[in-house]
Amino acid sequence: MKFKFIANACGIFESASGKKILCDPWIKDGIFEGSWCHFHPLETTLQDIQDVDAIYVSHLHPDHFDERYFGFDKNIPIIVLEDKYQFLIKKLAKLGYDNLIRIADDQTTTLFDFKLTLFQPFVAHNFHGDDAKIGNIIDSALIVENNGVIAFNANDNTPTPAASEMIRQRFGHVDLAMLNYNAAGPYPACFANLTDSEKRSEHKRILQRNFDYMLENIKKLKPKYVLPFAGAYVLGGKQSYKNPYLGTATWDACANYLVNNLNDDAIKVITLRENDVFDINSGTSNRPYVTIDVDKMNQYIKSDLAQLKYDYELDDQPDLDTLKADMTLATQRMFTRVNKIGIEPDMSVHIRVGTEMITICDPPQNKGKLDIELDLRLLRRVFDRKANWNNAEIGCHIEFNRRPNHYSPDMHMMLQFLHL
């Protein structure tokens, strides 16, 4: 079995017989409401990923499921997790894809000469579990088996060390572990309650936390090969100045950390660039690896990506009175929605509209205050379901000020339902 890497969480598994499964296609820049881009600029085109036999989509986030350019044969088999909420399944059905290979949590099915096992989120939150009553409800992870070779594609569904040990015991061994090493999202880049130095310090702390956690998982999985995987992006457009503060690093930085700290010669750390093909059986790549030139990346962001305009920047400014009225209605509908899944606010939340801070919720007993600002043209799109709050947040389009600096995962999930 081979794996051809393309970018981020996108790549192609190829079986011994030549059958191909494309994973999580994201090719074109501008996801997460315009800001997420690739580095380096991809040579791969949308046409280049058409010649596959099936597609695995792990979850709805656009760096895994880019709805803008999800243009495949409507009859192609699409592998998805059969989960409680079925957000992805409903979206695919709406787009006309009904040949779905639905696999329930911890269940295995055969497709061509592959055996496929899917897992629902292993934990509500890897680092803030005590504060997440609901937490992660959309991710999945994939085990791919072919001729006795086993690959674990965790993408954004980072396992706990206990889950990693369970996987190793259940499958006997893991040849290739593809594990996320980044913390994609707005923190600390978008938090006005932090100074510049505090943001840089939090950036380093989060990376160290993630690298350490990845190391724990590797020690439990004991794979032959480990590939730092998923979460590779840079910000373009007017949010590009936030790149130094993201909870992210290059996969080279992660690989160097693992090499220096793993202390296990039986486990090899590998890195791949676009169109590198890794033969999992032999442990060899089709060509020498070329490291990422960070200076070149930063220059490309400054000279090219920073000039991008987001779609919402082309909109007219919305009427403030209408926006305020819709805020009230959207808030009411948000609470109707979140009550169904059991979210209980534990912070007061306020969103700026013009000169006014509008209260979204103010529970009598709370852990702090969260003030929010964003471009009102984007807020208008969110209300009208032309944009998605969670995508805007992950894309770093939303500014937060929280006091104290307490992270409430369920509050950020609650805001995803703020729309008409």
Say whether pLDDT at 358 is over 90.
Answer: yes
Reduced 3-state DSSP string for 95-159: CCCCCEEEEECCEEEEECCEEEEEECCCCCCCCCHHHCCCCCCCCCEEEEEECCEEEEEEECCCC
pTM reported for the whole predicted model: 0.97
Q: Tell me how crowded residue 132 is: count the other CB atoms within 10 A of its CB.
A: 19
Report the pLDDT value the prediction gives residue 246, as an integer from 0 to 100: 97
Report the pLDDT value the prediction gives residue 231, as an integer from 0 to 100: 84
Report the pLDDT value the prediction gives residue 54, as an integer from 0 to 100: 98
Q: Across residues 2-8, what is the average pLDDT?
A: 98
| Tokens 């702090």 found at | 368
Say whether pLDDT at 133 is over 90.
Answer: no
- What confidence category does residue 130 fall into, taking pLDDT thresholds of 50, 70 and 90? confident
Say whether pLDDT at 281 is over 90.
Answer: yes
What confidence tens digit (pLDDT) does each residue in 226-272 have? 999 998 999 999 999 999 999 999 999 999 999 999 999 999 999 99
Phi, psi of 197 (to 5 degrees): -70, -35
Distance from C-alpha of 189 to C-alpha of 158, rounded to nearest angstrom: 22
Length of the chain in residues, anyone?
A: 420
Q: Across residues 152-181, what is the average pLDDT?
A: 97
List, in order of start, the domains of the chain with CATH numbers: 2-305 (3.60.15.10), 313-415 (3.30.1050)
Report the pLDDT value the prediction gives residue 319, as an integer from 0 to 100: 98
- What confidence category does residue 285 fall into, taking pLDDT thresholds of 50, 70 and 90? very high
Q: Across residues 118-145, what is the average pLDDT?
A: 93
Distance from C-alpha of 86 to C-alpha of 134, rounded to nearest angstrom: 16
